[in-house]
């Protein structure tokens, strides 16, 4: 695990965990056998790269983004790592995921919010994220996972997180388990990681 080694108030920061690293650690085992993987928010491609690097030769990753810049960055990063043959890029909203993905999904990942370094105006939102999550819940195979990181620290992200949390709370416990992780000694607005597993078909 990488230590950031950043200076923070004169002290050396030794933070090993954040929502993204926890999401990666809890999904890496699933990746070994996953065949059908969805990255619902490609962004700069770092999550897509993680999925491609840690999955087997059998895996195909379908990565969505509504911004051309994001898809170009993802293509560039995956090409640099010679992993683009495992990735299918889709220039469409993840709200239309079921139009592009029809087979059982082993793992779907969401890293919500806006493109790091891009416009803050173009962000995920409650309606389209909920539509995508609902379609992916229906597409999940038995043992399938959805990993989702929400950012309640800005107004639209707060609203999006509330809608998703309400939806997750009512998922049938006999069929799904839903767990979450957040740093609770920060502001209460820290990113929240959710892991949904389909435990029965």
Ligand X SMILES: C[S@@+](CC[C@H](N)C(=O)[O-])C[C@H]1O[C@@H](n2cnc3c(N)ncnc32)[C@H](O)[C@@H]1O
Contacts with ligand X, residue ranges (CB under 6 A):
41-47, 64-67, 70, 93-95, 111, 113-115, 122-124, 128
Copy the structure tokens of residue 120. Answer: 């803050």
Q: How far is the CB of 56 from ligand X (least distance, A)?
A: 21
Q: Find the angle CA(62)-CA(49)-CA(88) to the nearest 5 degrees.
A: 20
Closest to ligand X by CB, 125 or 175: 125
State which residue has the least CB distance to ligand X: 43
Q: How far is the CB of 69 from ligand X (least distance, A)?
A: 8
- Backbone angles phi and psi of 25, in degrees to 5: -65, -35
Rounded least distance, CB 191 to ligand X, Å: 10
Smaller CB separation from ligand X, 45 or 152: 45
Q: How far is the CB of 139 from ligand X (least distance, A)?
A: 16
Euclidean distance between CA atoms 43 and 64, whole angstroms: 9
C-beta of 118 vs 143, nearer to ligand X: 118
For the chain, how far is it from start to end, CA to CA, in angstroms?
35
Give the residue with the Cβ less far from ligand X, 27 or 44: 44
CB 104 → ligand X: shortest distance, Å? 21
**Closest CB to ligand X among 163 and 175?**
163
CA 22 to chain centre: 12
Q: Cα separation of 56 and 106, whole Å? A: 13
- Backbone φ and ψ for 136, nearest 5 degrees, come out as -70, -35
């Amino acid at each position: 695990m990488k230590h950031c080694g950043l200076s923070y108030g004169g002290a050396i920061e030794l933070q090993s965990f954040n929502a993204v690293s926890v999401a990666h650690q809890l999904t890496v085992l699933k990746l070994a056998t996953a065949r059908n993987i969805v990255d619902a928010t490609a962004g700069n491609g770092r999550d897509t790269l993680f999925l491609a690097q840690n999955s087997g030769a059998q895996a195909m990753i379908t990565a969505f983004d509504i911004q051309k810049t994001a898809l170009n960055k993802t293509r560039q990063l995956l090409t640099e790592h010679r992993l683009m043959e495992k990735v299918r890029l889709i220039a469409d909203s993840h709200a239309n995921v079921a139009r592009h993905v029809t087979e059982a999904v082993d793992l779907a990942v969401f890293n919500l919010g806006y493109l790091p370094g891009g416009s803050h105006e173009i962000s995920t939102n409650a309606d389209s994220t909920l539509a995508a999550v609902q379609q992916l819940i229906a597409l999940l195979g038995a043992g399938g996972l959805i990993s989702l990181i929400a950012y309640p620290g800005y107004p639209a992200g707060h609203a999006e997180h509330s809608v998703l949390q309400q939806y997750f709370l009512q998922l049938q416990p006999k069929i799904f388990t839903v767990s979450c992780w957040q740093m609770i000694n920060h502001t209460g607005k820290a990113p929240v990681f959710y892991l949904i597993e389909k435990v029965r078909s």
